[in-house]
Amino acid sequence: MQQIKQTIAASIVDAVQKINSEASLSADEVKSLLEYPPDPNMGDLAFPCFRLSKILRRSPVQIAEALAGQLSGGPIGSVEAVNGYLNIKLSDDYLTDTVLPEILAKKETYGSQTFGKGKKVVLDYSSPNVAKPFHIGHLGTTVIGHSLRKLHEFAGYDCFGINYLGDWGTQFGKLIVAYRLWGKKEEVEKTGVDALVALYVKINNEIKGDPEKGIPENKELADAARAEFHKLETGDEENLALWKWFVSISLAEYEKTYKQLGITFDSYLGESFYTDKMPAQVQKLRDMGLLKIDDGASIVDLSEYNMPPCLILKRDGSTLYPTRDIAAAVYRKENYHFDKAIYVTSAQQCLHFAQWFKVVELMGYPWYNELVHVPYGTVSLNGEKLATRTGNVVLLKDLFALAVEKVKGVVAEKNPNLENKDEIAEKVGVGAVVFYYLSNNRMKDINFVLDEALNFDGNTGPYVQYTYARTCSVLGKAGKVPDAAGKITTEEEAMLLKTLCRFGEKVVAAIEDYEPSVVTRFILDVASAFNRFYHNCPILSAEDEGTRALRLKLTEATKIVLGNAFDLICLAKTEKV
């Protein structure tokens, strides 16, 4: 559709200049004004002529009528002037002779872009806290982040994915104390992260007490945790050994989830890696006169920018998240030479990122405007906020397992002889959860209701995966697709092709808005258009060979576009369901 719009825009510019040769109007400007009519019966594209009134000194209605008679050929099938708009219908012949062959020829590159070539993008996403489980609250940063990586790669960018592990902080002091008080090595080795989480929840409950039951706060335990983390920071060998063990156990657990999602990273350098890189940035702030002392803490005053102060050092001189993030950004720019650095985190961290981005700018780093925060809404469970320290979580592995078991039940009922049923059940089950999440605009808060997430009817992951499998089944039964194809004879055929050709511009929109749901909604549009075509237009039993060939090519094109789109949102392709 991008090329179609460009061609039509050029035709409109030529027509305008025939009316007024001195009219200053570019094809890109006209292209940006082309719209999709609210009712498909009005046309496939519409151009509002109101913006041309000043240039041509005529009313929009007169301009539309004058231009309509001059536009024809190429992708233009017909043009109608209606109330100052040019309503344009695409040519069926152009769709079959140009659009369809392009999809079939480009295959896995169809819809890809080139504007990212020669540019580097660093993406910081997923980044779970070590010794805590993957729960549904981590799903957003993980699948949004990886989808953005796939989208940028599809546009030609060289991408570098970083899993910035939360492997440092006072929580490790708590965990060390908890392990020494209540932990058993054999139990931790057997149950992994689950055992570490249980210890973490227990010590937090012990520290905060229970006022309703008359159990006071345990300040001594909290002080002990802080002391153990201080020992860790200063290189205590026993604490370092425990910490490394906790990290290795956690990574082994996380890799299982990443494997299910088909996600890999280029770096797992966590917060701890930047411990020795922060002092230089703190000193730079001090040398530049940006660092101020406020009640014993070191801050950067951001009141001039309508933001609270950015805390750099606590009273005791220990660092905070902004200090680490600034040091990490400097390291990544110097070592990865990014053109854009994307951070995918909860919207609750918007102020944090705005603050340290501003500090980076004030420090004189010229690449401050290459830093991009991509926030997303919060996830609650049946209306309750998730919290690891209280144990109110649904683990992602458990959610995936529930979904997979449900798919197995459906397969056993509808297709008991399906080959590789366990592998397919995992793809569809995991896909159901991922698609459910990415169907929402990323800024929307999600109340995760398990019954809705695992609903296999309607606009769901299983529905679109089944559609993809249907295209594979039709093509498998057909054998070789004939070269010669007939012309479009039905509205369903035309609408399917018109939907498919929008893929490229949807990719661009998703990248510009950092919004994977643009692709998800497009997938649903394609699935809907194909299923209408499938039910209303006989394919294998078409009335003649030309029609059969066309419809098989349309089916193949649908498979290509769906497959390409699936890859962009971490959704597995299933050739059988």
* Phi, psi of 394, rounded to the nearest 5 degrees: -115, 115
Please tell me the distance from the alpha carbon of residue 81 to that of residue 67, in angstroms, as a whole number: 8
H-helix or E-strand containing 106?
helix 100-106
Q: Can you read off the two tokens belonging to residue 27?
A: 């094809």
- Domain 2-90 is found in CATH 3.30.1360.70: yes
- DSSP symbols for 79-113: EEEETTEEEEEE-HHHIIIIIHHHHHHHGGGTT--
Which 3 state secondary structure label does DSSP give 363?
coil
Task: Map tokens 């005791």 to a residue.
Answer: 316
Which 3 state secondary structure label does DSSP give 569?
coil
Which 3 state secondary structure label does DSSP give 417?
coil
What's at 162, amino acid-wise? I
Please tell me the distance from the alpha carbon of residue 534 to that of residue 323, in angstroms, as a whole number: 57
Q: How far apart are the first and last CA of the chain?
A: 31
Please tell me the distance from the alpha carbon of residue 248 to that of residue 165, in angstroms, as a whole number: 12
Three state DSSP letters for 119-188: CEEEEECCCCECCCCCEHHHHHHHHHHHHHHHHHHHCCCEEEEECCCECCCCHHHHHHHHHHHHCCHHHH
pTM score of the predicted model: 0.90
Sheet holding 76-82, edge to edge: 45-48, 85-90, 76-82
Please tell me the distance from the alpha carbon of residue 440 to that of residue 433, in angstroms, as a whole number: 12
* Phi, psi of 264, rounded to the nearest 5 degrees: -130, 160
* Phi, psi of 262, rounded to the nearest 5 degrees: 70, 35
Please tell me the distance from the alpha carbon of residue 136 to that of residue 395, in angstroms, as a whole number: 6
Give the rounded distance of the alpha carbon of 126 from its chain centre. Answer: 11
Per-residue buried b or exposed e for 387-404, using 16+ beta carbons within 10 Å of the residue's own CB: ebbeeebbbbbebbebbb
Q: Can you read off the two tokens belonging to residue 446?
A: 């999600």
87 contacts: CB under 8 Å, gap ≥ 6: 37, 42, 43, 45, 46, 79, 80, 81
What's at 457, amino acid-wise? D
Q: Can you read off the two tokens belonging to residue 361?
A: 């700018």
Break the chain into its structural domains and give their ranges.
Answer: 2-90, 419-568
Q: 3-state SS of the chain: helix, strand, coil percent to 5?
A: 60, 10, 30
| H-type alpha helices, 389-516 | 396-414, 421-438, 450-453, 461-478, 491-500, 503-513
| Partners of 85 in the β-ladder | 48, 82
Q: Can you read off the two tokens belonging to residue 564?
A: 């390409």
In sign, the C-alpha dihedral spanning 67, 68, 70, 75 is positive
Taking only the tens of pLDDT, the chain with its 577 residues reads: 888 999 999 888 888 888 877 777 888 888 888 999 888 888 899 989 888 888 888 899 988 998 888 888 889 989 999 888 989 999 999 999 999 999 999 999 999 999 999 999 999 999 988 888 788 888 899 999 999 999 999 999 999 999 999 898 888 999 999 999 999 999 999 988 889 989 998 999 899 887 777 787 888 999 999 899 989 988 899 999 999 999 999 999 899 999 999 999 999 999 989 989 999 999 999 999 999 999 888 999 999 999 999 999 888 777 788 999 999 999 999 999 999 999 999 999 999 999 999 999 999 999 999 999 999 998 776 655 555 444 556 788 888 888 888 888 888 887 887 888 888 889 989 998 899 889 989 999 888 776 777 777 788 898 999 999 999 999 999 988 777 778 899 999 999 999 999 999 999 999 999 999 999 999 999 999 999 999 999 999 888 889 999 999 999 999 999 999 999 999 999 887 6
Q: How many residues does the chain have?
A: 577
Query: Do 490 and 88 meet the contact criterion of CB atoms below 8 Å apart?
Result: no
Task: Map tokens 């940028």 to a residue.
Answer: 152
Q: Which CATH number fits domain 419-568: 1.10.730.10, 1.10.3720.10, 3.30.70.270, 1.10.1270.20?
A: 1.10.730.10
